[in-house]
Amino acid sequence: MNSPTPFHPSFLLSGPHRQTLWPPLLRQKESLERHRERLKLEDGDFLDLDWCGSNEHSPLVVLLHGLTGSSNSKYILGLQQQLFNQGWQSVAVNFRSCSGEPNHLARSYHSGDSAELDQILVEMSSRFPNRPMAAVGYSLGGNVLLKYLGEQSRNCPLTCAVAVSVPFRLDICAAKMNTGLSRIYRDNFLKELYQQAQDKIELFQSKGWNEEAQRLTSLINGSRVKTFEEFDHSITAPLHGFKSGSDYYQQSSSRYYLQDIARPTLIIHSEDDPFMTPQALPRKEELSQDICFELTSAGGHVGFIQGSILRPEFWLEERIPAFLNSYFPP
């Protein structure tokens, strides 16, 4: 494995909130040539996939975004650009309702939806038998990825994987979002989740899909919950077959699956991530021997910016390809 270059935060962008907020708000968006594919799912719904690069002889890297993100999230575009530069093909997944178009069922996506990822990777394996594959997940997408890796263990079709800024214990992270400045992030996430739900209800009503519209409307019910715990208990859990919010957190938290991971997996996390507390992080004895856990002192949540404001450097886009190259040499 390549020796990692240590992360040193940009001086003027130091601190968890600057590291977290600068990329989505002020980073220039990469302009990539991509083509979109609509993948039909077993339940009749769909996912939109955005492909970059045409070299089917290269490894394939599957990218998974975070909560309320998409294939247009700047960290996704940045990594796709780096992978393209080294001649690799990548495909960025848009979870349901995240591609700019509402999905066609009341259900949505959630932090433990590893069955969805399994459908994607089964499809990729069928199209490209024996092709080397990796996956990279950020935040919610990283939690889904780690859960999937643990569930599949030695049956996993991936050669290796990377997970960044993962909410290892969803219950602890949900509680942390109710404190201090983290409440601002929480309120923005909940606002976007409600808007996605309202967009779906309007679509269902316009199409005459009354059963799906009523199902979602009855859960939203005109009231607005104020915390993730309330949202996940009242909406996420019943929409996706969990008994309660607590049941959802217990079944979906990736921390409980780490010991069973049997593919080389890099986990990148910052101690100052404003979405989490140290109690959420796995202990050494919870990690399988195939996990490399890199814990930095700074970096925020999916930040990791070094260099300067005028010439920012996005360390993840150096570190992740370096790790992948250890298993997919040129």
For the domain that residue 87 is a member of, what is the CATH number? 3.40.50.1820
- pLDDT of the residue at 32: 94
Identify the active-site residue in 171, 232, 272, 273: 273
> Rounded mean pLDDT of 142-160?
98
139 has catalytic annotation? yes
> Rounded mean pLDDT of 33-49?
97
> Rounded mean pLDDT of 129-152?
97
Residue 113 inside a domain? The answer is yes
Q: In which element (H, E) is residue 228 found?
A: helix 228-231
Residue 1 pLDDT exceeds 60: no
Residue 244 inside a domain? The answer is no
CB 303, CB 270: distance < 8 Å: yes
Residue 190 inside a domain? The answer is no
pLDDT in tens, 51-79: 999 999 999 999 999 999 999 999 999 99
Residue 330 pLDDT exceeds 80: no
Q: How confident is the model at residue 2 (pLDDT cuts 50, 70, 90)?
A: low
- pLDDT of the residue at 102: 97
Helix, strand, coil share of the chain (percent; to 5): 45, 15, 40
Question: What is the Cα–Cα distance from 246 to 42, expressed in whole angstroms?
Answer: 27
Residue 49 inside a domain? The answer is yes
Q: How confident is the model at residue 162 (pLDDT cuts 50, 70, 90)?
A: very high
Task: Return the residue matching tokens 């390549």.
Answer: 2
301 has catalytic annotation? yes
Question: What is the Cα–Cα distance from 313 to 316, expressed in whole angstroms?
Answer: 9
Residue 156 pLDDT exceeds 60: yes
Q: How confident is the model at residue 310 (pLDDT cuts 50, 70, 90)?
A: confident
**Could you tell me which residues come within 8 angstroms of residue 314 by beta carbon, excluding any fewer than 6 positions away?**
23, 27, 75, 78, 304, 305
Strand order in the sheet with 133-138: 34-40, 46-52, 89-94, 60-64, 133-138, 160-164, 265-270, 291-296
- pLDDT of the residue at 38: 98
Residue 218 inside a domain? The answer is no
Percent of the chain with pLDDT over 90: 92
DSSP characters for 281-312? SPPGGGS-TTEEEEEES--TTTT-EEE-SSSE
Name 298's bridge partners. Answer: none
Residue 217 pLDDT exceeds 90: yes
Residue 254 inside a domain? The answer is no
Within 13 A of 66's CA, how many CA atoms are on the CB side? 18
Residue 148 pLDDT exceeds 80: yes
- pLDDT of the residue at 30: 87
Q: Is 129 exposed, middle or buried (0-12, 13-18, 19+ CB in 10 A)?
A: exposed
Of the two residues 166 and 11, the one the predictor is more confident about is 166
Cα–Cα distances in angstroms (integers) from residue 117 to residues 132, 151, 304, in the given order: 17, 12, 26
Residue 25 inside a domain? The answer is yes
Q: Strand 46-52 and strand 34-40: pairing?
A: antiparallel
Structural domain total, the chain: 1
Residue 230 inside a domain? The answer is no
- pLDDT of the residue at 3: 55
Task: Return the residue matching tokens 């992978």.
Answer: 83
Percent of the chain with pLDDT over 70: 98
Predicted TM-score of the model (pTM): 0.97
**Parent domain of 91:** 11-167+259-327
pLDDT in tens, 289-300: 999 999 999 999
**Could you tell me which residues come within 8 angstroms of residue 259 by beta carbon, excluding any fewer than 6 positions away?**
150, 286, 287, 288
pLDDT in tens, 168-212: 999 999 999 999 999 999 999 999 999 999 999 999 999 999 999
Residue 286 pLDDT exceeds 90: yes
On average, the pLDDT of the chain sits at 95
Identify the active-site residue in 65, 104, 233, 301: 301
Identify the active-site residue in 70, 73, 139, 253: 139
- pLDDT of the residue at 54: 93
Question: What is the Cα–Cα distance from 263 to 293, expressed in whole angstroms?
Answer: 13
> Rounded mean pLDDT of 315-322?
97
Residue of 215, 250, 209 lying closest to 235 (CA atoms): 215
DSSP characters for 172-208? HHHHHTTSTTHHHHHHHHHHHHHHHHHHHHHHHHHHT
